[in-house]
Amino acid sequence: MKRPVRAAGTALLITATVLAMPAGRARADEPLLIWSPSKIASQGYRLRMGMRTPTAADISAGVDLSLRASTSGRIREIRDSTRLWAEVADKTKGGRERSAAAGYNPMTGRGSANAGVSRRWAISPSFDIVLAPSVALDLDVAHGRIGRARMTQKAQIRAVGTGTSLTASGTAITRKGGIGAELGVEQRLFDGLSLGAAFRRQEAATTGALQARLRLDW
């Protein structure tokens, strides 16, 4: 009985926080209502529902409903079928971007929160540098405990003309999570498509990864 009560209280708190934000100019290219179905696995789907507020900052909140099925089409029971979420992002005239997000799973009583700041400088007409510290927390809301904390510092150099970026980051995780470092490079081929490679060092293990990102707007 306690978890549904906490879930209702969390939802009420998110709603009250969003409604209390000062009104501003709404973004004309984005609707206030959020309805976004997506496929998250071969047999998994997610529906994100929520709303944005007509404020100067980009504030949104809602619920994610997830569904997974077996290859035979039978619905599988999962513990992350419902998740409450809230996000806020803001950009200042000086090039600083701030963001924060929180999520809560009423089925398990666990949640997460993260916040970060990104600052960009033009060091020359051809190169930009970006510094982006962030922190993330795992929360055991049901028992009132804070789990692991992850602190990350990322630095990136971007070549404006070629679309090439070089990224270096370091991460520290509490509770015997250790310290890790990552070095990566990414090349934008054209708008919406980029290729990247990264090497990560975590404790005594080194791993590499190749990735391709494709974004389509319609």
User: Which pLDDT value is given to residue 165?
Assistant: 94
The structural domains of the chain, with segments of one domain joined by +, span 1-89, 109-218
Measured torsion, CA atoms of residues 17, 136, 31, 54, in degrees rounded to the nearest 10: 40
Distance separating alpha carbons of residues 154 and 130, to the nearest angstrom = 8
Tens digits of residue pLDDT in 19-73: 444 444 445 567 889 998 888 777 788 899 999 988 778 899 999 998 888 777 7
Average pLDDT over residues 101-123: 91
What's the rounded Cα separation, in Å, for the pair 110 and 3?
A: 10
pLDDT > 90? residue 129: yes
- Could you tell me if 133 and 170 are in contact, meaning their C-beta atoms sit under 8 angstroms apart? no
Give residue 4's pLDDT band: very low, low, confident or very high (50, 70, 90): very low
Reported as a pLDDT band with limits 50, 70 and 90, residue 75 is confident
Q: Are 131 and 118 in contact (CB under 8 A)?
A: yes
pTM across the whole model:
0.67
Amino acid at 39: K
- pLDDT tens by residue, 156-212: 999 988 889 999 999 998 877 688 999 999 998 877 788 899 998 877 788 888 888
For the stretch 76-108, pLDDT in tens is 777 778 999 999 998 887 778 999 999 999 888
DSSP the chain: -HHHHHHHHHHHHHHHHHHTSPP-PPPTTS-SEEEEEEEEETTEEEEEEEEE-SSSSEEEEEEEEEEEE-TTSPEEP-TTSEEEEEEEEEE-TTSEEEEEEEEEETTTTEEEEEEEEEEEEESSSSEEEEEEEEEEEEEETTTTEEEEEEEEEEEEEEETTTTEEEEEEEEEETTTTEEEEEEEEEEEEETTEEEEEEEEEETTEEEEEEEEEE----
23 phi/psi in degrees, rounded to 5: -75, 150
CA-based nearest residue to 134, from 156, 150, 112, 158: 150
